[in-house]
Structure 1
């Protein structure tokens, strides 16, 4: 019998018909005499049986409890910062480039099933602070980034594999020391495609402007919008990549040049650009409309910020967290695309910049790590934002403090964190997983009642109302189990 449909059932006791009906999600037993009514709510299953003159009703209630913890996910083949991590359509994670005292062109893959790291083919160019975008065809587009130019005998060289260097001032002018000689990092305009089927990189059309520290957003039409970044100075330009042709076309320019900003694709198809800096960090935000190729200013942030994070919520709003102004921030704000207004939401428990923010499968936002009040103290703390209550709660801390790392939500709902700045200015190769597990709590309630020779049986997954007979003695037992 299909218990999801209303039905009628008849039985005969003492030559009287007793009608059992399930209509509008209620079960009503009609006895010879009605003395009381008891309502039972079952979360999953309610079973009522009658043997001879006793009715036993068993209610099974279940509740799911989500638990989380951090677990080591092994070491990458190379320690790295300023890299990218992309979840491929096959569920694996592609990590590319970055630096660790040397600019990197290598790439590696994480297998969530085997929990192993394996090297794949290297990119054609070493790069850090570049972007990586998963295209609809399953390939990954990598754009721009910093490379190194050192002048030797009047000719530039790009042989990064033999150039060892130490960062002197990563946060400002990005000068580096190579073989005792002062050199500069230079933005590049090259782009390349990774094919997961072959594991091979192929060059594609170059951008019109060299840039690093920029952003890339996949648009609903399949094109990729690249915004801002640095080439000597912060850029005001934007470009569009067409995967069908491999060609870049200039988009209209932003109203403000930006570096170390954040962008997000809204549900209305527009792209929101937030913060960043050119001479000073900015409050300004802009909206790009792909249908008209136009930029329009929208309401400014309450706090100017760089090195922040922004994530889209299921309700269509955008949550911006932390970042740095004069100091690291714990302030969060919500952007509503329908009103184009920013409103405060509750503050994080820790001020943090250069952290990550990830939308989990349950709709909450996980924030991890980052720099604290200055760029010397790294955090291992994590916290969760609940859009329904607009409240932050702390969750388990990572095993390692890190900033400038990546966080990727895997197809199984777990979150993979890789690399970043570690303690003592180190570049950790370590990775970890934020594991989401669900436990089921089951409560069983049993009720017995003496009736007048009733023999009926009901099975339903909804609410049950039982009209009792002459004897109203009720016995309840409750058992809790963890599955």
Structure 2
């Protein structure tokens, strides 16, 4: 597939034709050599793949509380949101991460069946070059929604969330908030269990810090019970695979917040 700025090549050709017109270029001055257009300008309008650093919004729920398969991309080249191909499965409460190969991995969630009957163990991937979704061959060890995802050291982590108690019937009273975490190795192509958090968390926000740490910020510890909103933060050290609770807490307990790291880059 050719990746070009839509309409740019036509505009460039019209500019070239105007430059070569018998009346002389409308911009005034002598005509530019054709090589300027073909060799110096055109290459900047063609890309070997999708423009990097695009932002994707996938799935979620609409105003009628229905799970969505729709996908939008913020086109940073033009500064606008555009529709992309829909996911294979409607997913609300899912999480996403970027794989080392540049593909997007969307993990778990629930579909139109709801938070119990629609609980998803499946994942799917999006190839931005081919603009195509594919079912990921590896499933989560445990279906979940309301979890968070992050990439650390080339590995994808799925943290916390909500799921059915193991072996329980599909009824809401058997749902629980998870301490469980999983890790996906793209090279091995499978999910494995990893260190459990000290506190069950759904709606926590996950962010990496440097090369060795990942933080789980806030969340709710018992979505289907007392539903206490958390002010605590847990830190995962990839070197020993363990979670620890930070001594400093948020001044305001919060769940489903927004969290982002800031460094010294301009």
| TM band (smaller chain) | 0.5 to 0.7
Distance 1:227 1:347, change over 3 A: same
Of 282, 287, 295, which residue of structure 1 is paired with 2:120?
A: 282
1:175-216 deviations in Å (ceiling 9; x for gaps):
xxxxxxxxxxxxxxxxxxxxxxxxxxxxxxxxxxxxxxxxxx
SS in structure 2 at match of 1:240: strand
Q: 8 Å contact 2:220–2:255 — kept in the other structure?
A: yes
Higher Rg: 1
Q: 8 Å contact 2:212–2:239 — kept in the other structure?
A: no
Matches within 5 A, 1:400-411: 400-411=252-263
1:311: which partner in 2?
150
Distance 1:247 1:403, change over 3 A: closer
1:19-78 deviations in Å (ceiling 9; x for gaps):
xxxxxxxxxxxxxxxxxxxxxxxxxxxxxxxxxxxxxxxxxxxxxxxxxxxxxxxxxxxx
Of 348, 363, 372, which residue of structure 1 is paired with 2:221?
A: 372
Q: 8 Å contact 1:380–1:397 — kept in the other structure?
A: no
Moved over 4 A (4+): 246-249
Distance 1:388 1:340, change over 3 A: same
Pick 1 or 2: higher relative contact order, CA cutoff 8 A, min separation 6.
Answer: 1
Q: Which runs of 5+ in 1 are unaligned?
A: 1-218, 414-483
Offset at 1:249?
A: 4.4
SS in structure 2 at match of 1:358: strand
Of 72, 84, 87, which residue of structure 2 is paired with 1:251?
A: 84
Offset at 1:308?
A: 0.8
1:398-454 deviations in Å (ceiling 9; x for gaps):
1443222222212269xxxxxxxxxxxxxxxxxxxxxxxxxxxxxxxxxxxxxxxxx
Compute the TM-score of the two structures, normalised by the length of structure 2. Answer: 0.66
Equivalenced residues, count: 194
Structure 2 Cα separation of the partners of residues 327 and 397 of structure 1: 27
Compute the TM-score of the two structures, normalised by the length of structure 1. Answer: 0.38
Structure 1 Cα separation of the partners of residues 206 and 256 of structure 2: 12
Matches within 5 A, 1:172-251: 221-231=52-62, 232=64, 233-246=66-79, 248-251=81-84
1:262: which partner in 2?
95
Q: Which runs of 5+ in 2 are unaligned?
A: 1-49, 164-174
Structure 1 Cα separation of the partners of residues 202 and 263 of structure 2: 27
Matches within 5 A, 1:25-40: none
Distance 1:395 1:222, change over 3 A: closer
Q: Greater strand share, 1 or 2? A: 1
Q: Greater helix share, 1 or 2? A: 2
Alignment RMSD: 2.2
SS in structure 2 at match of 1:408: coil
